[in-house]
Copies of this chain bind each other. A is one copy, B any other.
């Protein structure tokens, strides 16, 4: 149920509408947890029914009304408890590796093309992440507590993309 807790963690920063949350899950939070707006609206309804968040409807003149969600004390406690519960590392689950595994059923050329496409994609993500690092996290020792945690998720992304990039290159080399 990490979606619920990812929403709680996002809402603690500042009250948000479902729409705002969907944008976050499309950007920063989306680096490590993805969700569509439909999932978010569904989850918010559930969270409100459980009393983990409450909403206020804000009337707007020039835009549609919106519901601002806020985390309740109960919600904060639930988040804290969830964080304290041990969890297992997420297993890898990647289409490309299934393709490699079945690779000798296809032509070498096709596999190499796909590997090259992925290499390119990982390279692009990596440079996006590095740009963010440059922009927001130049001096790691001087970051606020909150920023340190965000920085760590970004570092994970950088490390992850670096790993994939290196593996793609290795794979291309071995198969060429």
State the A residues within 8 Å of B (CB).
2, 5-6, 8-9, 12, 29-34, 76, 79-80, 82-84, 86-106, 110-111, 114, 117-118, 121-122, 125, 140, 145-146, 148-153, 155-157, 159-160, 162-164, 166-167, 170-171, 174-175
Contacts and interface: CB of A to CB of B under 8 A. Distances in A.
B92 A157 contact: yes
A174 B32 contact: no
Chain A at the B interface: SS class: helix
A164 B97 contact: no
B153 A100 contact: yes
A95 to B, nearest CB: 4
Contacts of A83: 99, 102-103, 105-106, 110-111, 114
